[in-house]
């Protein structure tokens, strides 16, 4: 009998590398049906894309998307599926128990979903987890795993670069902004045994992502900085390159300025701002709390965002961030 597996995952490095670990540990047979549901990084209401018929008798895995943003649909599909495994590190105030639901949610700012999956699998595919942590901006945490595995400086650099590049690919207002759709990128990367194999293969997505990243980051570094005491804030244009680089550039600025919050403000097609907030590395708390005060805002302790911030509320947001971390 054919088994139906529905894999729901965030389109960034953490989501993709989490699923790669999971499917390498729990591989599917030729008779099994795998259905992938994903999207750009900010497309997180993904469980809503599973209708009741699709959910029927399926085994669902959900990785790296907010439980709170999917709670109603999780409750709905549980009535139809065989089982649902949910692993994430975002706020989950609405988490509930159900006989078919297994959840592993940890909202500490020192973890990402890739590391949580790595724990579930007892380090079976930890190289991918390290790349996920680097992609999520958790460099100091990733370095601890690098040391545990005895990796050298070159290997560390390779894992970080791949993590950053795959994470960079996830940002955009739609899949059209991206170099690769997250589904395609997952399918191509999961075929490699290790992240190192991705990097040495000249036909892998690595080189195209690197070229795109270098072009986009150069433009970002020439963008306008906003004046706000105690805060690093940059405004980017309404353009595909800006949407692609926004999150990765935010992570870079946060690493370079560990005592200050970092805000990336991107103009969007709706005439409002898309916000990415990084809490100070030295005090990685409060980002979700701040962004959740504004409509369409949310995230996690160390990093959060607002999908559509009205232009007239930008000063209020900047002031709120500055006062919180003062």
Please state the pTM of the whole predicted model.
0.88
**pLDDT given at position 42:** 86
pLDDT tens across 102-112, in order?
999 999 989 99
| Burial annotation 285-309 (CB, 10 A radius, 16+ → b, else e) | ebbbebbbebebbbbbbbbbbbbeb
**Class assignment of domain 4-209?**
alpha beta
- Phi, psi (degrees; rounded to nearest 5) at 42: -85, 0
Q: Rounded to whole angstroms, how far apart are CA atoms 311 and 23?
A: 43
pLDDT tens across 117-135, in order?
999 999 999 999 999 999 9
pLDDT at 311 over 70: yes
CA angle 205/166/34 to nearest 5° reads 80
Give the total residue count for the chain: 326
- Phi, psi (degrees; rounded to nearest 5) at 297: -105, 155
pLDDT tens across 144-161, in order?
999 999 999 999 999 999
**pLDDT given at position 173:** 87
Tell me the average pLDDT of the chain: 96
Q: Rounded to whole angstroms, how far apart are CA atoms 168 and 3?
A: 33
Rg, the chain, Cα only: 19
**pLDDT given at position 1:** 64
pLDDT tens across 150-191, in order?
999 999 999 999 999 999 999 998 999 999 999 999 999 999
Which residue shows structure tokens 């405004």?
A: 235
Which residue shows structure tokens 């670990």?
A: 21
**Is 3.10.310.30 the CATH number for 222-324?**
yes
CA angle 90/190/206 to nearest 5° reads 90
- Phi, psi (degrees; rounded to nearest 5) at 62: -120, 125
Domain ranges of the chain: 4-209, 222-324
């Amino acid at each position: 009998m054919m088994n139906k597996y529905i894999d729901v995952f965030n389109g960034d490095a953490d989501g993709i590398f989490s699923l790669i670990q999971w499917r390498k540990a729990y591989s599917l047979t030729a008779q099994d049906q795998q259905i992938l549901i994903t999207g750009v990084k900010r497309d997180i209401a993904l469980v809503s894309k599973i209708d009741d018929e699709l959910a029927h008798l399926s085994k669902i895995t959900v990785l790296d998307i907010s439980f709170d943003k999917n709670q109603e649909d999780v409750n709905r599909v549980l009535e139809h599926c065989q089982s649902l495994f949910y692993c994430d590190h975002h706020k989950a105030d609405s988490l509930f128990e159900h006989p078919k639901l297994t959840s592993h949610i940890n909202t500490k700012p020192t973890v990402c979903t890739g590391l949580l999956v790595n724990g579930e699998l007892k380090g079976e595919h930890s190289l991918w987890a390290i790349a996920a942590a680097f992609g999520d901006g958790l460099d100091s945490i990733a370095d601890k795993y690098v040391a545990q595995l005895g990796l050298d400086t070159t290997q560390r650099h390779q894992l970080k670069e791949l993590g950053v590049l795959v994470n960079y690919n996830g940002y955009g207002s739609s899949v059209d902004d991206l170099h690769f759709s997250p589904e395609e990128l997952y399918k191509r990367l999961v075929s490699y045994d290790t992240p190192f194999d991705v990097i040495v293969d000249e036909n892998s997505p690595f080189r195209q992502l690197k070229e795109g990243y270098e072009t986009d980051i150069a433009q970002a570094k020439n963008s306008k900085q906003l004046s706000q005491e105690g805060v690093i804030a940059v405004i980017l244009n309404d353009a595909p390159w800006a949407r692609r680089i926004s999150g990765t550039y935010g992570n870079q600025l946060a690493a370079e300025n560990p005592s200050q919050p970092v805000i990336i403000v991107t103009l969007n097609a709706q005439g409002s701002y898309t916000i990415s907030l990084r809490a100070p590395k030295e005090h990685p708390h409060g980002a979700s709390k701040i962004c959740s005060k504004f409509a369409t805002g949310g995230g996690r302790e160390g990093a959060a965002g607002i999908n559509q911030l009205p232009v007239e509320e930008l000063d209020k947001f900047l002031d709120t961030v500055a006062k919180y971390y003062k």
